[in-house]
Amino acid sequence: MVGEASMGESAQNETSLLSTLPKELPLEFFTEITSGFSKDRILRTSAFGTFYTGILQNGLVVCVKKLAENLQIPAGRQFDNEATNLLVAQHENIVKLLGFCRQITKKVVEHNARFILVDKDECVLCYEHVPRGSLRDYLSDDKMVPKIADFGLSRFFNHEQSRLYTINVAGLKGYMAPEYLFRGEISWQCDIYSLGVLIIEITTREKNCCDEKDKSGREYISSVRRTWTDEHITIKYMSLDADRLQQVKACIDIGFKCVDVNQKNRPSIVEIVDRLHGKRAG
């Protein structure tokens, strides 16, 4: 997934104050700090849910994510256990999870021309607020600290579920995998695709224009593939020695493998890390 850019020391101070919050909070708390999950508080939406600005009584700002209803969240203590595990994940490049909520509410729905009362899972995650927005805007700004959002979110899904589908396709233009964009199919390969676009963009320093008609970045990828030949890489990075040039070529190659239209051909994150460390596939 595309990450965020951190503001630095002020965000860290805010997070330290937020650490005094209880970890498991009632739904009413999140309803109150988001003004009833108001449309005016929406930051963005994704296939996994909607992000809202939450404002605490002391004025501090948090990011509240209400998970989409179509996600198959594990029942009982499993959700709580997974959320608790993610709460202890502390890393400067991970947007910190501050708290969570899972609450069963009643909802009236129409079924076979009748209105019935059903149980509805309300799942909410509370993150530190990252005010500088998308990492895309800061790819060339070396004073910013990149942060991965929604780290570990896949752990909340049914463990037997390798993919799910949504009719609410939403995401960052230029980074969405074709199978997600056109079929609403969500799987770990979608994140690999987005990562591949980022690797290509960072390595080549060619900006992804994110055109409305090119939400998967295919035109951008094709342009880079045509232009960034071995000769072009050598010219662009004339100051690098042979080993460093090989590293640049390897990164671009990894990026192209990640954005394969056929998701089955995309490498796993383990394979990507091995390649970045100079290991060859067996």
**Residue 81: left if φ>0, alpha if ψ -120 to 50, beta else—which one?**
alpha
Name 127's Cβ contacts closer than 8 Å, sequence gap at least 6: 62, 63, 64, 65, 95, 96, 97, 98, 149
* Rounded Cα distance, 24 and 152, in Å: 18
Phi/psi at 241 (5° precision):
-80, 180
What confidence score (pLDDT) does residue 6 get? Answer: 44
Nearest-CA neighbor of 121 among 168, 163, 156?
156
Name 42's Cβ contacts closer than 8 Å, sequence gap at least 6: 50, 51, 52
Higher pLDDT: 179 or 87? It is 179
What confidence score (pLDDT) does residue 159 get? Answer: 45
Structure tokens at 243: 């080993």
Task: Write the pLDDT tens digit of every residue in 139-187.
Answer: 557 555 656 665 555 555 554 445 555 545 556 677 888 888 888 777 7
Name 278's Cβ contacts closer than 8 Å, sequence gap at least 6: 250
- Residue type at 63? C
pLDDT value at 8 more than 50: no
pLDDT value at 137 more than 60: no
In a 10 Å sphere around its CB, with 0-12 CB exposed, 13-18 middle and 19+ buried, how is residue 104 labelled? exposed
Vertex 117, ends 28 and 26: CA angle to 5°? 15
Calculate mean pLDDT across residues 205-214.
76
* Rounded Cα distance, 96 and 87, in Å: 7
Provide, rounded to the nearest whole percent, the portion of the chain with pLDDT above 70: 67
What confidence score (pLDDT) does residue 262 get? Answer: 94
pTM, rounded to two decimals = 0.58
Residue 41 and residue 34 in contact, taking contact as beta carbons nearer than 8 Å: yes
Calculate mean pLDDT across residues 192-202.
89
Domains assigned to the chain: 4-161 (3.30.200.20), 165-276 (1.10.510.10)
CA 160, 163, 167, 171 dihedral sign is: positive
- Residue type at 236? K
Task: Write the pLDDT tens digit of every residue in 89-112.
Answer: 666 767 788 888 888 777 776 777
Measured in whole angstroms, the distance separating CA 207 from the mean position of its chain's CA atoms is: 20
Average per-residue pLDDT for the chain = 77
Q: What is the DSSP string of 157-205?
A: S-TT-SEEE-S-----TT---HHHHHH-EEEHHHHHHHHHHHHHHHHH-
CA dihedral 178, 179, 181, 185 (to 10 degrees): -160
Higher pLDDT: 191 or 249? It is 249
